[in-house]
Amino acid sequence: MGEYRIPDQLKQFVTDNTIVVRSPGRINLIGEHTDYNNGFVLPAAIDKAVYVTIEQVSGTKLFLHSVDFNETVEIELNAIKPVPGHWSTYILGVVDQFLQKGKQIGGFKLSIYGDVPLGAGLSSSAAVECAVAFALNELLNARFSRKELALMAQAAEHTYAGVKCGIMDQFASLFGKKDHVIRLDCRSLEYEYFPLELGEYVIVLFDTMVKHSLASSEYNIRRSQCEEGVMLIGQNYSSVHSLRDATIEMVNECIGEFETAHRRCKYVVEEIDRLQKGCKDLERGDLKAFGQKMYATHEGLSKDYEVSCKELDYLVEYVKQYHMVIGARMMGGGFGGCTINIIKKDLVEELVNDLTVAYLKNMGKELKHYMVNIEDGTSIIN
């Protein structure tokens, strides 16, 4: 377990009987758009996190204070409801999950602070939910397992934020392990850790600073294209219930004449296979082979799955010219957000400077970047 300290921003809220929980954001090394196809993902928790302090108070009122939004919300327990778009909704959604599970909750005072950038694709919302779930679990002595907490945090996002996310983000936040990635089987929720020994390399994210409005409509279209593919394959192979069960030969045989659906399904089947091989690379400590697969993922997401955008493609194409960047790809659902890059330490400063200038000149936007280290998942730090 690493050494995690209470951030200065929360120290004023901490007394002897305050519980303090840290829950990190996450990256995903490989395995994009595979979760809803029952495949695998390969996330890791990072050194940017959300922190929550909690302590019981008498009565039935909740006092929620956000340091980052400089705002306090007071609400009666029996009056909680979703407030989509407001920071409190992620917290109240988790409270609701505990109530749904029949847990008795009394009044409490909670304060929250984080340094996971909001809306950048590092899943600050999951970090909030998991921090709150873990803190409440401790406060109430409710004894839910980490897996149960992940599912409750996901349910909170569905019901109170209105975002029908998969389980990866919450799972990664709760199950992260320093210097390891988590291979999560989205079908069974079985997981295994693989070492990510970076040596002279670091992980850097480049933030396009764009979020195209296409993202959610195209997401739904991709999901239905995958379902269409599964239906076509299922006509010949009754054992295929998701693209996880399909091989590339099946995709070619059954969907070959449907050009678009074929490309979509081919990407997914290849990506699931690529992830499995990538884990072998990590076991061997072959970071370069792993990085090549990240480039291949980007190619697939851009050309076959078509969820990239010109800004993401620009950033990946740009870094490709440096042999000291051994892997790069868009991360997340697509149409904006960040790229994830594995870069030799010696190059980082120069590359960040050059790319910032080039990005402004060619894409007309200020580039942001985040260096991330892989850290442990949710824990109590006080």
Going by C-alpha positions, the residue among 347, 315, 352 that lies closest to residue 330 is 315
* Residue that is written with structure tokens 């969820």 in the block: 307
The window from 8-16, 23-31, 121-129, 291-299 that contacts Mg ion (CB under 5 A) reads 121-129
Tell me if 125 contacts Mg ion by CB under 5 A. Answer: yes
Tell me if 173 contacts Mg ion by CB under 5 A. Answer: no
Tell me if 31 contacts ligand ADP by CB under 6 A. Answer: no
Catalytic annotation present for 8:
no
* Residue 78: CB atoms within 10 Å: 7
- CB-based contact 139:56 (threshold 8 Å): yes
**81 versus 361: smaller Cβ distance to ligand ADP:** 81
The SS3 assignment for 69 reads: coil
Tell me if 170 contacts Mg ion by CB under 5 A. Answer: no
Please pick, among 96, 169, 245, 376, the residue that the annotation labels catalytic: 169
DSSP-assigned beta bridge partners for residue 341: 204, 328
The phi and psi torsions of 169 (rounded to 5 degrees) equal -60, -45
**207 versus 271: smaller Cβ distance to ligand ADP:** 207
Amino acid identity at 161:
A
Going by C-alpha positions, the residue among 27, 37, 29, 7 that lies closest to residue 227 is 37
- Min dist CB 64 to ligand ADP, Å, is 9
Q: Which two tokens stand for residue 61?
A: 């009122």
- Min dist CB 337 to ligand ADP, Å, is 8
Tell me if 66 contacts ligand ADP by CB under 6 A. Answer: yes
DSSP secondary structure letter of residue 333: S
> In the set 57, 79, 118, 189, which binds ligand ADP (CB under 6 A)?
118
State the binding string over 343-362 for ligand ADP (x if CB under 6 A, else -). Answer: --------------------
Alpha-helix residue ranges (DSSP H) falling in the chain = 8-11, 88-100, 124-139, 146-156, 168-175, 214-236, 248-255, 259-284, 287-299, 310-320, 345-363
- Min dist CB 160 to ligand ADP, Å, is 11
- Min dist CB 127 to ligand ADP, Å, is 7
The window from 118-126, 136-144, 320-328, 350-358 that contacts ligand ADP (CB under 6 A) reads 118-126
- CB-based contact 29:380 (threshold 8 Å): no
User: Which residues of the chain form contacts with ligand ADP (CB under 6 A)?
Assistant: 50, 66, 68-69, 87, 90, 112-114, 116, 118-125, 128
